[in-house]
Amino acid sequence: MKGLYGIALGMGLTLGVIGSSGTLVKSYGYTEMDVAQGGTITGTVTFEGDMPAPKLLKVDKDLETCGHHEMFSEELIISKDTKGIKNVIVSIEGIEKGKKFIPPSSNPALDQKECTYIPHVLAISAGTTVDILNSDKVLHNVHSYAIKNSPFNEGVSTGGKLPKKFEFPELVPIKCDLHKWMSAFIVIKDNPYFVMTDDNGSFKIDNVPAGTYKLQAWQEKLGKQVQDVTIEAGKEVKVDFQLKPKGK
């Protein structure tokens, strides 16, 4: 678990959330507006380097529930064909105004099934409530590692539903102490310009007002990369990222 706080802190955005009186003031410095003639960013995130072998997880508890098949880590999923990386979060950082948040019609879920989190990475807007579920026949403890948001750790038994609201932009790792191979990330963003890459590492962000922005790609094992991107009204711009293993 070492280093998780480091990541969480490192990802922390500088936001005006503290009023002068010290009371909580939620202003993320983002203003919603109607975007006319918005631009679009498309691209792919690919892996640079030798393809790493899939990492087999050590599943040694509750085998009746968790041990149906070999389980591989989802920490880095690379397409064999395109070298595209799945589950990378691509986001515009520090954008001050733009399209409206469209709240999901129902709370996004983080399920626990056969002792795996589904999905492995969940990206949400600040203020979203996530329903944490347990579809397994065993109890899981849902242990979150947060500073700005609440660092809860709660037992959830079979069929349980634990709604949790995430108020602040932060990167929150989720773990289960009973099944140590289980790992997920909830990424909370302060503006609606974020997407997750698909199986081929492709992404598309639309309705962006013309301007120059910082575009960030973040992956849990490979870290983040930031590029400047200039959007022209009504046009599409292509931005690709190549992420490589850290320390190389």
Instruction: Report the distance separating Cα 162 and Cα 133, nearest Å.
Output: 6
Q: Which is nearer to other proteins, 148 or 224 (CB)?
A: 148
CB of 217 to other proteins, least distance (A): 26
Cis peptide before 119 (omega within 30 of 0): yes
Q: Which is nearer to other proteins, 167 or 206 (CB)?
A: 167
What token pair was written down for 75? 């920490």
Interface ranges with other proteins (CB under 8 A): 1-2, 4-5, 17-18, 22, 24, 61, 138-139, 141-157, 160, 162, 167-168, 177-178, 180
Q: Which is nearer to other proteins, 18 or 226 (CB)?
A: 18
Q: Which is nearer to other proteins, 83 or 180 (CB)?
A: 180
Q: Which is nearer to other proteins, 34 or 177 (CB)?
A: 177
CB of 23 to other proteins, least distance (A): 8
CB of 222 to other proteins, least distance (A): 21
Q: Which is nearer to other proteins, 23 or 212 (CB)?
A: 23
Which residues neighbour 21 within 8 Å (Cβ) at sequence distance 6 or greater? none
What token pair was written down for 167? 């108020």
Asked if 48 contacts 65 with a C-beta cutoff of 8 angstroms, the reply is no
CB of 58 to other proteins, least distance (A): 10
Q: Taken in order 62, 67, 68, 74, is the CA torsion positive or negative? A: positive
Asked if 209 contacts 97 with a C-beta cutoff of 8 angstroms, the reply is yes
Q: How many CB atoms lie within 10 A of CB 27?
A: 12
Q: Which is nearer to other proteins, 37 or 157 (CB)?
A: 157
CB of 110 to other proteins, least distance (A): 15
